Chains A and B, each alone.
Chain A
Amino acid sequence: MATRAKKSPARSAQTSAVKAPKPIEFTKEQELEAYRQMLLIRRFEEKAGQLYGMGFIGGFCHLYIGQEAVVTGMQMSLKEGDQNITGYRDHGHMLACGMSPRGVMAELTGRRGGLSKGKGGSMHMFSKEKHFYGGHGIVGAQVSLGTGLAFANRYRDNGNVSLAYFGDGAANQGQVYESFNMASLWKLPVIYIIENNRYAMGTSVSRASAETDFSKRGLSFNIPGIQVDGMDVRAVHAAAEEATAWARTGKGPMILEMQTYRYRGHSMSDPAKYRSKDEVQKMRSDHDPIEQVKNRLIEKGWSTEDDLKKIDKDVRDIVADAADFAQSDPEPDASELYTDILL
């Protein structure tokens, strides 16, 4: 008589679809920090959209507007040396990592002062100093790389975690699951952040995914997952605290599904006919991550409208400076074509 395999105690443990932690109540300083950071990303992206329309940016440009709370809340839980890696919608991540708005904008316009000297463009930028491991134009490819970064952390025993960001579309790539398996097998300190903005370009989640609860995607690999309100920076931060604590203490990877929304099209050439204007408007009016913080700051009497306008002006000045630089900086010299390539 065939014996049934014994149920391993490890497997019966609560290993997936962990309940989301309650949003952390922010201090005044945290609210202001989050407000400023998210506003910087939004104003930067609005300006990038304008420069694109004016012809200063060519090719591809994927804006992060609407998703600002995700990187902002995650970043608030990081410590020096923690790595970030993401896909092609990367401007917000770079700003959150502290990379220079001038450098990012000048890369978008393909100038010498761009972070990749103009040779990378919107999707392909890096900063060793800020522990940002790219901007990757190939959907899902960064997930395996983020797993490798986590392996290096474990190998060096440096206490760092790596954050591998990807979208709901990339979540269907095969190598994501190869990565999940290795990360769980080797207990790697990696946090897989699935930014579920509901649309993989023009394909809605339900039209591309058999399981639309992405926090469950690690089930077969014993990777716990949390579904997070990615429009509420406090909820993101609470999840980030839990995930970083988990990963830093040798328990292995965790999946955070960030339920978020992009207000703009997939890229600049996307007419976004796959969703209604009402749907977008409803998200903007009811769930905007920046408005949420703003309302709390005012309700609690921590800031006046004027205080917040002052922050907005500071942010606009930074973005205007970046935009001026990105338009006036010279284009790369022809000799740049053959630098940084093995021949």
Chain B
Amino acid sequence: MPRKTMIESIRDAMDTMMERDENVVVFGEDVGFFGGVFRCTQGLQAKYGKTRCFDAPINEAGIVGAAIGMASYGLKPCVEIQFADYVYPAYDQIVSEAARLRYRSNGDFTCPMVVRMPVGGGIFGGQTHSQSPEALFTHVSGLKVVVPSNPYDAKGLLISAIEDPDPVIFLEPKRIYNGPFDGHHDRPVTPWSKHDLGEVPDGHYTVPLGKAIKRREGSQLTILTYGTMVYVAEAAAAEHNIDAEIIDLRTLLPLDLETIIESVSKTGRCIVVHEATLTSGFGAELAALVQEHCFYKLEAPVARVAGWDTPYPHAQEWDYFPGPSRVGRALVETLEGL
């Protein structure tokens, strides 16, 4: 089976859907001629022409606003925001228009739009090219929020997102575009070409939205995580020789609560790991749900490992990033109990 990077598999998903459905259009800043800042749309304009894959001016509110208009008329726009850090001008359109269209039109209209954006740090982008704003979207009813962690899932989830009748926020952890980065920034990263999850079938397949997956079966504790942090969690558990059950949530909204409850009920201990800042992060929601549903099974408080509550610092990138040592410490503490 062909192996692909996450960039290639994301491109493959759009390619597959553009070929199958002429309602699918792809646009954004530098998306057409240039092929996207991370090259996710490279070649699509050449293949499908300028009416289906094209450049937009630098105006995020306009890009998303226009996409909502297109979507409400039956097109399926898949737009790129160059960095998630640039999405805020479009936030009003996403929250007040896209997410609410179905509800306030009594189901008459839906908004089959996908907004793709690279998230997360690890490339020295500083505070305006490194953020993980997933919780700003999970707080909004009417949206679906997806964070893939590997090329196989990325393609299958993006196809599901494009086919979905409702707006999907598709967050791509840019640090793992080329390989499963485990947080050890001083070591080379294994490329996806040498990783099983880099195997990406040709053509159409889907990974369902709202379905988590166990990346590792384990008995001692449950780690709830997504995106880049899946690999950091794997590394931390291995380095501390802990038999952790690692759940890659894949979709944050709608959340696969069933898989979470099943796992935490079995292990009795739970840690949430994400790169975004701690306070009011998605981890808070997960911790609340776990204690609500698994209270009598818990043998230790639910722990959270997250980015510090600061802007993403340029020079101190790796102090901010919740790497394997911070995750490892939390694993040990949670196992020891209090």
Using a CB–CB cutoff of 8 Å, the interface residues on chain A facing chain B are: 58-60, 88, 107, 110-111, 114, 116-124, 136-140, 169-170, 172-175, 200-203, 207-209, 274, 331-332, 334, 336-338, 341, 343
Contact = CB atoms under 8 A, between A and B. Distances in A.
A121 B320 CA distance: 15
A118 B129 contact: no
A267 B126 CA distance: 14
A201 B29 contact: yes
Given A207-B55, A208-B55, A137 B129 contact: yes
Contact of A110 (B62, B310, B315): B315
A114 to B, nearest CB: 8
Contacts of B32: 207
Contact of B310 (A116, A123, A337): A337
Chain A binding surface SS class: loop
Nearest to B130: A59
Given A119-B315, A274-B33, 4 more contacts: A119-B311, A119-B313, A124-B126, A169-B29
Contacts of B55: 203, 207-208
19 contacts: A59-B123, A59-B125, A60-B124, A119-B314, A122-B314, A123-B128, A136-B128, A137-B129, A139-B86, A172-B57, A201-B30, A203-B34, A207-B32, A274-B33, A331-B315, A332-B316, A337-B308, A337-B319, A337-B320
Given A121-B126, A173-B89, A336-B316, A139 B58 contact: yes
A117 B32 CA distance: 38
A313 B34 CA distance: 39
Contacts of A334: 316, 319
B43 to A, nearest CB: 13
Given A121-B126, A122-B126, A201-B29, A140 B315 contact: no
Contacts of A137: 85, 126-129
Contacts of B29: 169, 200-201, 203
Interface residues of B, number: 36
Given A59-B126, A60-B126, A118-B315, A172 B30 contact: no
Nearest to A59: B124
Contacts of B320: 337
Interface in B1-28: none
B34 A274 contact: yes
Contact of B89 (A117, A175, A209): A175
Contact of A341 (B34, B60, B310): B310
A124 B59 contact: no
A208 B315 CA distance: 34
A120 B314 contact: yes
A249 B37 CA distance: 44
A125 B320 CA distance: 20
Contacts of A175: 89
A124 B128 contact: yes
B61 interface: yes
B55 to A, nearest CB: 5
Which of A110, A119, A200 is most buried by chain B, counting CB atoms within 10 A of its CB?
A: A119
B333 interface: no
A105 to B, nearest CB: 13
A138 B61 CA distance: 13
A222 B259 CA distance: 61
B309 interface: yes
B86 to A, nearest CB: 6
Contacts of B58: 139-140, 169-170, 172-173, 200, 208
B315 A338 contact: no
A334 B123 CA distance: 19
B308 A338 contact: yes
Contacts of A172: 57-59, 62
Contacts of A88: 128
Contacts of B128: 88, 123-124, 136-138
Nearest to B316: A337
Nearest to B309: A343
B89 A174 contact: yes
A174 B314 contact: no
Which of B29, B123, B127, B314 is most buried by chain A, counting CB atoms within 10 A of its CB?
A: B314
A118 B316 CA distance: 8
B8 to A, nearest CB: 18
Nearest to B320: A337
Interface string B77-117: 00000000110110000000000000000000000000000
A124 B127 contact: yes
A209 B124 contact: no
Given A59-B126, A138-B86, A121 B315 contact: yes
